[in-house]
Amino acid sequence: MLGACARRGASLVAPLPLERFSVAPMMDYTDRHFRYLLRLLSREAVLYTEMVTAATLVDGAGAPRHGDGARWLGYDDDAGRTVLQLGGADPAQLGAAARLAAPRGYAGVNLNCGCPSDRVAGQGCFGAALMRDAALVADCVDALAEHAPVSVKCRVGVCDTVSDMVDDDEALYAGLANFVSTVAARGTCAHFVVHARVAVLSGLSPDKNRKVPPLKPRLVSRLADEFPELTVVSNGEISSYESARDRSEGNVAGVMAGRDVCKRPWYYANVDSALFGADADPAASRRDVLLGAYAAYAAAFEADHARADWSPRRALLKPALGLFHGSPGAGRFKREVDALAKGGDAGVREILERAAALVPDDVLDAPPVLDVARRTAR
C-alpha cells in the first residue's frame, strides 16, 4: 500500500473533480465545440480536451486551426469540470505548458501515458512509451503539479509488437502496480485513468490498438482494490449505462467513455440522473439543444472567428452530426448538413435549422429517455 499517496503535494491547489463518468481525450473529436455540446447534455461529466503536446504550447509548434490560438486552450465550459490533456516527456517543458494553461481555469491537467501511436512513441518517446520509465513520469507529474491538480492516463501495460504481448495477467498486473506505485509515491498524483488494454507500440494503428489487445478490466479493478488511497478510473469499451455500472464496482471511482459518445451523444443525455443521482438532466430535447443553445453558441463563434480565407463552419457543424444517431431522419439530417456546408453562404445556424427541418418533430421534441432499471446512482 502507499501510505503517502493520499497526501497531495503542497503545490496541488485543489482536488480533481469526481470522475464517476468522463469523456476521453480524442484527437479531432473532443475540441471545444464538441465539449460545448456535451456540456449541454451533462453538467456533471468530466470532459477531457484533445491531447495537446507541451511543445505546441511552449514553442508554438504547428499552426493553430479554428482561426486562432484558442484552438488549444480556449473553451466555454462554466461547470469547472474540464481537464486539459498534455503530451510530452520533458518535465521542464510540461511544467511550462501547465503554467501557460493555468489562467484558463481547467479543473486539472492529465499526462498522456496511454497513447499507443508509433508516431508519439517515436517522437519524444511520450504517450504509452512513458510507462517504461515510471521515474521520468513521476518527474513530469511533479512539474505539472506546481500549477494544477494532476492525473495520469495509462494502459494496463505496454509492449513493442503484437507477438510481444504478455498473456500472463499476474505479470501484467505486477508491471502496472509498479508503474502506478512509483508515480504515486511522490504524493503529487493520486488519480489514474487506466485503459484496460495493453498498448502495442509498433505494428498496430491507434484504431487496432483499441480492438486487438484483449480487454482486461479486472486488472483495473484489482488496482483500485489494492490501492484504495488512489482514485482509479476504468477506460475501454464503455458503451452503455450497464457497462458503466459494471465497471464501476468495488473501489473503481468511475468510468471514461470514448468513441461511443462521439457516435451517439444523445444517448448520454441521461448521465447526470443515471450516474450522478441528479433529479433531472439539463437537456429537454434535441430541438432545445441543437436549435437553441448550440446554434446560438455556434453562430456567435462563427461571427467572431470567420475570416475572408477561412471559416470555422465545418468544425462547428461536426459535433451535431451524431445527435440523431439511430433515429428517423438521422441520414437526411447528416446529408443536408454536408450538402449545405459544401456550397453556398449559409451560416451554421441556418444550416442546422434547414437540416433539422428534415427530422420528424416527435424526434426533435422527445426528451432523453432512460430505462429506470439502468439507473446506477450511488
Phi, psi (5° rounding) for residue 55?
Answer: -65, -35
d(C-alpha 323, C-alpha 319), whole Å: 8
- Residue of 127 and 16 predicted with greater confidence: 127
Joined grid coordinates for residue 331? 441520414
Joined grid coordinates for residue 96? 511550462
Residue 4 confidence (pLDDT) above 80: no
DSSP 359: S
Q: Which residues of 259-270 are buried (b: 16+ CB within 10 A; e: fewer)?
A: ebbbebbbbbbb
- Model pLDDT, residue 371: 55
> What's the pLDDT tens digit per position in 289-333?
999 999 999 999 999 988 877 889 999 999 999 999 999 999 999
> What's the pLDDT tens digit per position in 326-370?
999 999 999 999 999 998 889 999 999 999 999 999 999 999 987
- Model pLDDT, residue 18: 83
Q: At 285, is the secondary structure helix, strand, or coil?
A: coil
Q: At 256, is the secondary structure helix, strand, or coil?
A: strand
Residue keyed to cell 422527445:
366
Q: Tell which residue, 326, 304, 288, 5, has the closest CA to residue 150.
A: 5
Residues in the chain: 378
32 Cα distance to chain centroid: 11
Write down the CATH superfamily of domain 21-276: Aldolase class I (3.20.20.70)
Phi, psi (5° rounding) for residue 257?
Answer: -100, 160
- Model pLDDT, residue 137: 98
Phi, psi (5° rounding) for residue 366?
Answer: -70, 135
Model pTM? 0.91
d(C-alpha 239, C-alpha 269), whole Å: 13
Joined grid coordinates for residue 192? 489514474
- Model pLDDT, residue 139: 98
Residue 6 confidence (pLDDT) above 80: no
- Model pLDDT, residue 344: 80
Which of 16-20, 91-95, 144-148, 306-310 has the least mean pLDDT?
306-310
Active-site residue flag, 115: yes
d(C-alpha 351, C-alpha 355), whole Å: 6
Query: Pick the catalytic residue: 5, 115, 159, 189?
Result: 115
- Model pLDDT, residue 70: 58
- Model pLDDT, residue 123: 52
Joined grid coordinates for residue 360? 420528424
Q: Tell which residue, 135, 146, 149, 156, has the closest CA to residue 189.
A: 149
- Residue of 250 and 374 predicted with greater confidence: 250
Residues 6+ apart with CB under 8 A from 374: 240, 241, 242, 245, 274
Per-residue pLDDT averaged across 199-208, rounded?
A: 89
d(C-alpha 41, C-alpha 270), whole Å: 8
- Model pLDDT, residue 17: 83
What value, to the nearest 5°, has the Cα angle with vertex 74 and ends 139 and 111? 20
Q: Which helix (H) or strand (E) holds 85?
A: strand 82-87
What value, to the nearest 5°, has the Cα angle with vertex 117 and ends 178 and 104? 80
> What's the pLDDT tens digit per position in 76-96?
877 789 999 999 999 999 999
Joined grid coordinates for residue 263? 457516435
Per-residue pLDDT averaged across 271-290, rounded?
A: 96
- Residue of 34 and 6 predicted with greater confidence: 34
d(C-alpha 54, C-alpha 91), whole Å: 10
Joined grid coordinates for residue 1? 500500500
- Model pLDDT, residue 64: 44
CB 98 within 8 A of CB 144: yes
Joined grid coordinates for residue 93? 517543458
61: pLDDT confidence band, cut at 50, 70 and 90?
Answer: very low
- Residue of 75 and 129 predicted with greater confidence: 129
